[in-house]
Amino acid sequence: MEKVERSSFGNSGNTLLLSGGFLVLANLVPLFGAFFLDWSIFEIVILYWAENLVIGLFTILRIMTVAPPDSQPGLLPGKLGLSAFFTVHYGIFCLVHGVFIFSLLGGKPGAGPRYMAAEFTGPMLWALLALMVSHGVSFVWNYLGKGENRETDLNKQMFAPYPRIVVLHLAILFGAFVVMAFGQPVLLLAILVVGKTVLDLQLHRRAHRKG
């Protein structure tokens, strides 16, 4: 039965190629914004920060759909409890990270959640939705379709987002400082977006190959 379920989603390489393709397409949206919509480094970085919230949402879905072969009926309370703990812990982490970015790049010290949410209108909202679709495809095709949810556990899924976020955003912030030092030319903005996309794709492939 397990082989039949997996075959309906194609082989491992095809599903990884599909989700990777959506990831690249989603990351082309901020590249378009840099070239044609005059997006600043702040707008691009804050979009990538908001992507962390999307990752957090899908992490909760991953936790709730963990289904190891020896799972017991009592696993549901553990999933709910861990999801609640993750929401608080990860939420505080993202809030502090966001305040840091708004203070450093946006010139808005102590910016709260309401001010952060106000940034996402028009093209920024569509860019965020594109990133959400990308992560959704990966969740359906890789995590559920390939059966990764049957080969993991709750603790692994809870801690999975943090290394990716730390690596990506250290690189993004370093690139942001470089771009600001040269007056935010479009070419450097494009290099930052492309660099983030390449790094994101490598981390994506590594994570799912481990899965």
**Structure tokens given for 166:** 């730390």
Q: What is the mean pLDDT of the chain?
A: 85
pLDDT category at 143 given cuts 50, 70, 90 is very high
Which pLDDT score, from 0 to 100, does residue 80 have?
A: 94
Average pLDDT, stretch 184-210? 85
Q: pLDDT, tens digit, for every residue of 153-176?
A: 999 999 999 988 888 888 888 988
pLDDT value of residue 119? 82
Instruction: Identify the residue with better confidence: 115 or 95.
Output: 95
* Distance of alpha carbon 79 from the chain centroid: 21
pLDDT in the model for residue 55: 95
Q: What is the pLDDT of residue 210?
A: 55
- Residue 13 has what pLDDT? 58
Confidence at residue 104, expressed as pLDDT on a 0 to 100 scale = 82
Residue 206 confidence class, pLDDT cut points 50, 70, 90: confident
State mean pLDDT over 117-137: 91
Torsion of CA 1, 6, 162, 125, to 10 degrees: -120
Residue 60: predicted pLDDT: 97
Residues 182-200, mean pLDDT to the nearest whole number: 89
Residues 127, 69: Cα–Cα separation, whole Å: 38
Q: DSSP secondary-structure letter at 172? A: H
Name residues whose C-beta falls within 8 Å of residue 89's C-beta, 6 or more positions apart in sequence.
none
What pLDDT digit, counting tens, does each position of 14-67 carry? 667 778 888 999 989 999 998 999 998 889 999 999 999 999 999 999 999 999
Q: What is the pLDDT of residues 98-121, one digit of tens each?
A: 888 888 887 676 666 777 787 888
Residue 142 has pLDDT above 80, yes or no: yes
Query: Which residue matches tokens 């801690």?
Result: 159
